Amino acid sequence: MAIPLTYNLRSLRVRWTSTVVAVLGIAGTVGVFVAMLSLAKGFKATLVSSGSPRNAIVRRAGSTAEMESAVAVDHVKIIEDAPGVERAGSGPLVSPETVVIAAFPLKATGTDANVQVRGVSPKVLNVRDNVRIVSGRMFQPGLNELVVGRYVARTYSGFELGNSVKFGGGTWTVVGVFDAGGSAFDSEVWGDAQVVKDVYKRPANVFSSVTVRLTSPDALTGFKDALTSDPRLTVQVDREIEYYDKQSRALTQLILVLGTMVGLVMGIGAVFGALNTMYSAVAERNREIATMRALGFGAASVVSSFVFEGLCIAFVGGVLGCLAILPLNGLTTGTMNWQTFSHLAFAFRVTPALLAGGVIFALLMGIVGGVPPAVRAARARVAVALREM
Partner 1 sequence: MVRVDGRGGGNSLVRVRGLDKKYQRGSEEIHVLQGLNLDVDAGDFVAFMGPSGSGKTTLLNLLGGLDLPSAGSITVAGDEITHMSAGKLTAWRARHVGFIFQMYNLIPVLTAFQNVELPLLLTKLSKAERSQHVETALQVVGLADRMHHFPRQLSGGQEQRVGIARAIVADPTFLLCDEPTGDLDRKSADEIMDLLGRLVREHGKTVLLVTHDPVAAERASVVLHLNKGVLEEARKVEAS
Site for partner 1, rule CB under 8 A: 1-4, 6-7, 10-11, 13-14, 287-288, 291-299, 381-383, 386-387, 389
Of the pair 203, 298, the CB lying nearest partner 1 is at: 298
Nearest residue to 185 (alpha-carbon basis) of 103, 130, 107, 235: 130
Q: How far is the CB of 360 from partner 1 (least distance, A)?
A: 29
Closest CB to partner 1 among 286 and 351?
A: 286
Q: Which is nearer to partner 1, 123 or 293 (CB)?
A: 293
222, 84 contact by CB (below 8 A): yes
**Shortest distance, CB of residue 271 to partner 1, whole angstroms?**
26
Closest distance to partner 1 from the beta carbon of 383 (Å): 4
Q: What is the DSSP string of 11-77?
A: HHHHTHHHHHHHHHHHHHHHHHHHHHHHHHHHHHHHHHHHS-TTEEEEEETT-SSGGG--EEHHHHH
Q: How far is the CB of 313 from partner 1 (least distance, A)?
A: 16
Shortest distance, position 23 Cβ to partner 1, whole Å: 18
Furthest-apart CA atoms within the chain: distance in Å = 95
Q: Give exposure, 137-175, as e/b (b: 16+ Cβ within 10 Å).
A: ebbeeeebbbbbbbbbbebbeebeeeeebebbeeebebb
Nearest residue to 364 (alpha-carbon basis) of 292, 285, 295, 310: 310
Q: Which is nearer to partner 1, 201 or 387 (CB)?
A: 387
- Contact between residue 36 and residue 342 where contact means Cβ atoms under 8 Å apart: no
Rank residues 47 and 290 by Cβ distance to partner 1 and give the closer one.
290
Between 3 and 368, whose beta carbon lies closer to partner 1?
3
Q: To the nearest whole angstrom, how small is the minimum distance from the Cβ of residue 372 to partner 1? A: 20
